[in-house]
A and B are shown apart, each in its own frame.
Chain A
Amino acid sequence: MKDRFANRKYFIMALVLLAAVVLIARLFYIQIVDKTYRVSAANNALRPVTQYPARGLIYDRNGKLIVYNQAAYDLLVIPVQTSAFDTTRFNEVLGITMDDFKSRMKAAVSYSRRAPSVFMKMISSETYAVLQEELYRFPGFYVQARTLRKYTRPVAAHLMGYVGEVDNKLIAKDRYYRSGDYIGVSGIEKSYEEHLRGRKGVNIFLVDVHNNIKGSYAEGRYDTVAIPGTNLWSTIDLTLQEYGERLMQNKTGSIVAIEPSTGEILTLVSSPTYDPSLLVGRVRSENFTALQADTVKPLFDRALMASYPPGSTFKIMNGLIGLQENVIKPTSLFSCSNGYHAGSLTVGCHSHASPLNLPQAVAQSCNAWFCNAFRNILENPASGSIQDSFDKWRAYLVAFGFGNKMGIDLPNELSGNIPTRSYYDRYYGKDRWKALTVISLAIGQGEIGATPLQMANMAAVIANRGSFYIPHVVKKIGDNGTPSPLYTQKYITGISPENFLPVIEGMEGAVNGGPGSTARGARLDSIIICGKTGTAQNPHGKDHSIFVAFAPKDDPKIAIAVYVENAGFGSTFAAPIASLMIEKYLTDDIKRKYLEDHVLNMVIKPSGKEQ
């Protein structure tokens, strides 16, 4: 076949020669003409030194400092830049063994040969001083300044949370973090990590083969300045928090106090607790293991994560729902003969006058009254069925924040539990259950569970006569900042303000009323406290003592929930603690020293696991 395109080979040949000329010309330029690459090569050991910003400080609501920073030093290594050096002297300075040295080096190499990794964390200032002088003898190693957390008072450990090292999973996910970086692991440190951490900067230095810094790479063109973290103003009252933790010493349980008008959390105590400085620096992992192994579970944040049956405190809710649904009146009278009797079913009650109206029933915590009220709610002729009434009842509770996470700005909050219609349908068969089947809900027992946070929020709703802000622990992000917009939105529960009045009257009576009132131990002469006791049945041991309250009655400043595990009746233990907290907060002074001593000296050994 005649080859018509044979001439094209010349063009292709020209292409080859062109390619060769381009490459050789460029090689000639970079290898012979341009000298900058030779200079770069001499100083090519680029060392990125991260500038760690100081983490944001945390203040209490009155501007008292809670968490701040202290200096610490990390020793870093870039494995490819190391060469033979006096390891004996090196180990001597750091106080480590040869085996230790080898395993640390191996870990560094396995992370990356080219990127820096932390060889030894948080070395002391003394070691740092010695090391700094001899560092030139250890090529590839250098020191980076860090900050560690420090606490003004050994309190609020669960709230503040702690800072730990990022794990490899997170490093893979989030490009901001590098091996050895710190990150908030729990509490405010975690939920406000992005504000507190600031922004890392980096200085890129040129380092020669003798480990000497030769200057800034490219005149600092690629350097970035570290931006310090944002300070936070928490809603916590540090004095009250410390007092609460003192009152709860030797007891298991929690205190949650909220400012009703804002939803700001004044105190969040979970007992037993621990000193937050235990989880700082090199001792952290050791102490963490010890705390984790502790049988009283000091790391467990009961205020947000323990879900208890609310017991009698829950009668308030049934009273409010009954009034709103118009199935009871404040003046409704129900009699009680040591309990509620319906057929073979009996819900026992203590001895008290009979019959009672609503305020009296709240004050004296009558079981029979609320069984009747609850039955009226579910058997409401205005609804289609028991089950429809139940849905309505549950909707009110959800509006109060029960049964779901409240959305507090702290991690690991639990949602508690309000059983659903389908739960009972599964259990008893579809629509084959009646008011009496679930009657224990009337008095806050049964399948129901609420966290201390949710109970404190309930107290805040009552104090506000029907509305609330989601409880939160940070009021200002930045020294002149605002809270997250989530927490400035008002929530309405759907119970009319006037329906709160008889319930509040009952709560006032419980604390300040005559004989039969359940919480007279909480009474204060100067301030009207409204409260309600409760006892949560505990299948594992002695019952838990509960008290929810707010004060003063008019224009309330504090709403509080107190749980003391395994302490028995609410009136005996939780009520005095709540009362002291209210007194401390509102008057800044404790007049009832005898009561304070009594509470401080109470020692309640846990008799079983919390629920």
Chain B
Amino acid sequence: MEKSNNILARLDWVTVILWLAMMIMGWLNIYAAVYNEQHTSIFDMSQRYGKQLIFIIAAIILAVMVMVTDNKLWFFFAWFIYGFFILLLILVLVIGKEINGARAWFGVGAFSIQPSEFAKFATGLALASYLNSKRQLLGIREMIAATAIIIAPVLLIAVQPDMGSVVTYFAFFVVLYREGMSIWVFITAILAVALFLLTLILGNLPVAIGLLVVAAIALLVTSGYLLTLKAAAVMAVTGGMAFLIGNYILDLDTVLIIVLAVFLAGVVYAWFIYRLRMVNQAIIYAFLLGGLLYLFTVDYAFHEVLKPHQQTRINIMLGMEDDPFGEGYNLNQSLISIGSGGFAGKGYLNGTQTKFKFVPEQSTDFIFCTVGEEWGFIGSTVVTGLFVWLLLRLMMMAERQRTTFVRAYGYGVFGLFLVHFFVNIGMTIGVMPVIGIPLPFFSYGGSSLWGFTMLLFIFLRLDAGRTEYLG
């Protein structure tokens, strides 16, 4: 009794209250989203809001159950839990139920359970456990191992296929960053994303030329104009050769000719770089060639790996395509819903867009439309604010841990909530492409609610026991 009192006293009640508030607000908005005159009782169990109430009660029970566990359990069984959910992800591919073309669900009576929602906390635990056992500066070997822990569930989920859930796993790189991942990984990733978007917007050729210009400027700054001129002269000669080969022998397009020219020039530079030990110049050259080759990967990935509807969604987000009755339908309707909410909103249950059900998936992935339409800018800001509060609270809690294990796990929870929060709200207002992931504690659905509750309360439990020694 004394111990449980102890836990209650140490429990982070701010987070618990935020959690409860979000679930209740979500529930009220689900009621508004599926509201119709025939079923007005908010407790009608045949309707989604009725079911969501059951899910919420079950989530509270689940939270209590997590709180009464011993916090050593999560540390010692981290790998076991991870393995168990990896097995479930394999199993769901075999005996899972197919809904909307994805084999992501176990059918249990009238309900369906989505193991990928639970695999998130399992992955968080395993990753935290791994990082706990390593020194903090992550070398290449640690990075590979950590990435493998993250990638295993990602690959299984990609097979389902559920690309939305795949995206959320990138959240774990926040953990790696906090725990000492090289800053260069981050910079490279940001550059890669920027190049990707630039290539899609501007096309291959301008970006290729841009890369050449940037390389030249970098060379000028680091090595002075003489060396830059020499390098440019070499480039001019190899460029001419590449043009002759590309145009008359191999029939290459302009961008490929540039790549060929840079490659040929590299052979010449390599000798100087080796002789004169020119490290800066070598790095600049590597970035140039790498960037050019990456352009092709982008092109290929975009056109060959992504499905046409995914390409369209990205193009719509970049403002390059307009398709209000096809792939853009959801976004267009979602923007109208939220935009028409104005400053103060249309009032609870008065959303016309909501009532006419223009936005599909409005109780699940597009629940934020109801918030935006009926509660306006005030409501949207309050919800955004609640999430920011929760996120900062989680950060603060993670930072007060004495073990790497709990801190890393806490940052995993933080990262997942950050990605879900930003991508979900972002897609409803057109700053992110349409990726079907739920808004934590708001969207309709038992699996995601329970998955997020587990994720959060394991951290709360570990946090409550932060003074105890884990091992």
Contacts and interface: CB of A to CB of B under 8 A. Distances in A.
Prevailing SS type, chain A contact patch: helix
Most interface-central of B336, B384, B392 (chain A CB within 10 A) = B336
A222 B324 CA distance: 9
B377 A16 contact: no
Nearest to A48: B325
A440 B430 CA distance: 79
Interface in B398-422: 399, 404, 411, 414, 418, 421-422
A41 B336 contact: yes
Given A15-B418, A30-B335, 18 more contacts: A1-B404, A8-B177, A12-B414, A20-B385, A22-B422, A22-B431, A23-B426, A30-B339, A31-B341, A31-B372, A31-B376, A31-B380, A32-B342, A37-B335, A37-B338, A41-B337, A41-B339, A44-B356
Contacts of B399: 6, 9
A170 to B, nearest CB: 20
Interface in B228-243: none
A31 B392 contact: no
Given A23-B431, A26-B431, A38 B342 contact: yes
B325 A222 contact: yes
Contacts of A23: 384, 422, 425-426, 429, 431
Interface string A1-31: 1011110110011011101101110111011
Please give me the 3 A-B residue pairs with the lowest Cβ-Cβ distance, nearest first: A37-B339, A41-B340, A30-B339
A343 to B, nearest CB: 68
A47 to B, nearest CB: 12
Contacts of A6: 399
A80 interface: yes
B136 A27 contact: no
A589 interface: no
A20 B336 contact: no
Contacts of B137: 4
A31 B380 CA distance: 10
B177 A12 contact: yes
Contact of A19 (B353, B360, B381, B422): B422
Contacts of A426: none
Contact of B343 (A9, A16, A31, A113): A31
22 contacts: A4-B137, A8-B177, A9-B395, A12-B178, A16-B391, A16-B392, A16-B418, A22-B426, A24-B381, A27-B372, A27-B429, A31-B376, A32-B377, A36-B339, A37-B335, A37-B339, A38-B342, A40-B339, A41-B337, A41-B340, A114-B358, A209-B352
Interface string A173-201: 00000000000000000000000000000
Contacts of B339: 30-31, 34, 36-38, 40-41
Contacts of B414: 12
A6 B343 CA distance: 40
Most interface-central of A19, A34, A114, A204 (chain B CB within 10 A) = A19
A81 interface: yes
A159 interface: no
Interface of A: 1, 3-6, 8-9, 12-13, 15-17, 19-20, 22-24, 26-28, 30-32, 34, 36-38, 40-42, 44-45, 48, 80-81, 113-114, 204, 209, 218, 222
Contacts of A204: 325
Contacts of B180: 4-5
B357 interface: yes
Nearest to A4: B136
Contacts of A37: 335-336, 338-340
Interface in B434-450: none
Contact of A20 (B340, B358, B377, B388): B388
Contact of A44 (B179, B336, B388, B430): B336
Contacts of B356: 44-45, 80-81
B353 A44 contact: yes
Nearest to B180: A5
Interface of B: 136-137, 174, 177-180, 324-325, 333, 335-343, 352-353, 356-358, 360, 372, 376-377, 380-381, 384-385, 387-388, 391-392, 395, 399, 404, 411, 414, 418, 421-422, 425-426, 429-431
Contacts of B357: 80, 113-114
B119 to A, nearest CB: 24
B93 to A, nearest CB: 25
Contacts of A24: 380-381, 384
A222 B430 CA distance: 21
B72 to A, nearest CB: 20
Contacts of B392: 13, 16
A70 B328 CA distance: 37
A3 B136 contact: yes
A222 B328 CA distance: 13
A40 B431 contact: no
A16 B388 contact: yes
B157 to A, nearest CB: 24
A12 B337 CA distance: 32
B351 to A, nearest CB: 9
Nearest to B36: A80
Contact of A28 (B335, B352, B377, B426): B377
Contacts of B411: 12
Contact of B178 (A1, A9, A27): A9
A113 B360 CA distance: 11
B420 to A, nearest CB: 11
Contacts of A114: 357-358, 360
A13 B178 CA distance: 11
A27 to B, nearest CB: 5
Contacts of A3: 136
A140 B205 CA distance: 51
A26 B325 contact: no
Nearest to A9: B399
Nearest to A83: B37
A209 B429 CA distance: 25
B406 to A, nearest CB: 13
A134 to B, nearest CB: 23
A40 B430 CA distance: 16
A218 B332 CA distance: 12
A1 to B, nearest CB: 7
A38 B340 contact: yes
